Amino acid sequence: MPLSFAAADSPSLPLYLLPEGASEVAFSALSKSTRLWAEAQGFTGALGQTCVLPGPEGAPVGALFGLGTLAARARGRFHLARAAEALPEGAWHLVGDLSPTEADEAALGWLLAGYRFTRYKSAPALKARLKCPDGVDATRLEVLANAEALTRDLINTPASDMGPDELEQAFFALAARHSATATAVRGDDLLAQGFPMIHAVGRASPRAPRLLDLRWGSAGPELTLVGKGVCFDTGGLDLKPAAGMGLMKKDMGGAATVIGLAQMIMALHLPLRLRVLIPAVENAVSGNAFRPQDILTSRKGLTVEVNNTDAEGRLVLADALAFADEESPDLILCMATLTGAARMALGPDVPPFYTDDDALAGALAKAAARAADPLWRMPLWQPYEPLIEPGIADLDNAPSGGMAGSVTAALFLRRFVTETKRFAHFDVYGWQPTPAPARPKGGAGQGARAILAALPVVLGL
C-alpha cells in the first residue's frame, strides 16, 4: 500500500507539539482541563512523550507530543514518527512552531513510520495518518517515502527470492513505470561484450551474472548511478563464517539504493539524463569459482590480483564504472555495501563517501543535513595508493594489513574512472540493526535523499 498523507480536506484532530518544560505561553493555547489532564498523565514534554486528550464523552479530541530539549532532539531524527505509532486511528494535523526543515523531516518521518514489510507475514497498518503541514510539498515527500519503501523491500527480501533474475525483474519494472529503457547483458555474453570481472565473480552460481543498464531523459546534464548488486555473498572460496554470512542478503543494498534514487529522480521529473548500471551477481562456491591469486583483466585493461574472493564487490563495480566512464557523463555516483571497515569507522548510521571534488563534497554535506540523511566525507588518501599495487598485477583487490580498508577500496574504484571529472563513491551499510523512529529493523536506504537534495546545486538544475 503506498505511503501517503491524509486527504487535505479530511477532518482531523490537533497534535500539539510542546518542548520539555514548555512555557506558560505554549500551554496557554490549551484549556485548563487539558493542562490538568496532561499533568495527571505525567506529561512533561520530554522527547517522544505522547498524551491523548479525551473529550467529554471519552473520544479523543487531540493529543500532545513532547519535543524534548534541543540537545535531546540533536541525538536522533524523525522523532515525530513515535507519535505516528502511538496515536489512535484517524487523521491528525500538527499545531506548533516548526521551521520549514523541521516540518519537512517531521512529515517524512511520519510517512516512513507507515512502512511494513509484508511479503511473508502480515502486519497491522499504521492507524494514525497525518495531514501534510502547510508549506510542505506533499507530493515530493510521498515520492521520497515510497522510493525508500522500494529500497527496503528489495533489501529485506531474502536471496531465495531476490537473486540476479529477480533484481533484474525489479529493475525492468522500474523502467516500465517511468517509460525508461532497460537492457541486460547476461551470462557468457558478459565475456563477449567486455565485462570479464562481473563474469568471473558470478560464474560459480547457477544464477547467471548480468549487467543491468537503464536510461531515462533526453535533455540536461548526464548523471550515471552505479550500484553493487551482489544478491548473496558467500565470500567465494575465501568462505565467510556463518556469522559473517547472516546478513548477506543485503549485499545488494547499493543496487537497491540507486533503484530507489532513480525512482525519485524519474517520479519528480528532474531535468537531466539518467543512466543506472547494476552488476547483479551471486558470489557462490563451485568448481569454476574464481580463486585467490587469480589475475583478472578488467574491462579497462587493468589487471587485478585477487587476494581475497570476499572482496568481490569492487571487482564487479570496476567493470561497471569503466563502462560508465566511457561516456564521460557529468557525474558518476557509485553506491555499495562495500567494506566492514566503513562500519568500524563510522557505525551503521553514517555512510562515508569519497570524492576529489571539494564543491561536490560540500554540496553533499549540506544536503545531508537538510534531508536528515547523514553522510560523512572520508579522504582519498594518496599515500595509500601503493597498498593497492601488488607488483605482479596493476591492482590488488584486498591489500594485506587490514588497515584503511574503506579508503583503499575507494582508491581502487577511482582507478576505473579516468574520463569523468566528477565522481563520488558511497560505502553504505543498507541495514538498520535496531529499530528507531521511522526506521524498523531491516533494510534501509542511505544517502539517496541527500544526493537528491544536492543534485540541483551539483548539476545546475
302 in Cβ contact with 321 (< 8 Å): no
Tell me how far apart the alpha carbons of residues 330 and 31 are, in angstroms, rounded to a whole number. 58
Look up 314 and say whether it is catalytic.
yes
Look up 129 and say whether it is catalytic.
no
Tell me how far apart the alpha carbons of residues 160 and 168 are, in angstroms, rounded to a whole number. 14
DSSP for 397-425, written as a single string: SS-TT--SHHHHHHHHHHTT--S-S-EEE
Tell me how far apart the alpha carbons of residues 107 and 8 are, in angstroms, rounded to a whole number. 14
Tell me how far apart the alpha carbons of residues 300 and 315 are, in angstroms, rounded to a whole number. 12
Distances (CA, A) of 9 to 16, 94, 420: 20, 15, 49
Residue 237 DSSP one-character state: T
Q: At what angle do helices 405-414 and 313-325 cross, to 10 degrees?
A: 30
Distances (CA, A) of 39 to 35, 297, 322: 6, 71, 64
For residue 33, the number of C-alpha atoms closer than 13 Å in the C-beta half-sphere is 6
125 in Cβ contact with 111 (< 8 Å): no
The CA-based dihedral angle spanning residues 305, 306, 311, 314, taken in that order and rounded to the nearest 10 degrees: 40
**Which is the catalytic residue, given 73, 215, 240, 366?**
240
**Which is the catalytic residue, given 129, 152, 203, 314?**
314
229 in Cβ contact with 320 (< 8 Å): no
164 in Cβ contact with 172 (< 8 Å): no
Assign 95 to helix, strand or coil.
Answer: strand
Tell me how far apart the alpha carbons of residues 2 and 143 are, in angstroms, rounded to a whole number. 10
- Which residues are catalytically annotated? 240, 314
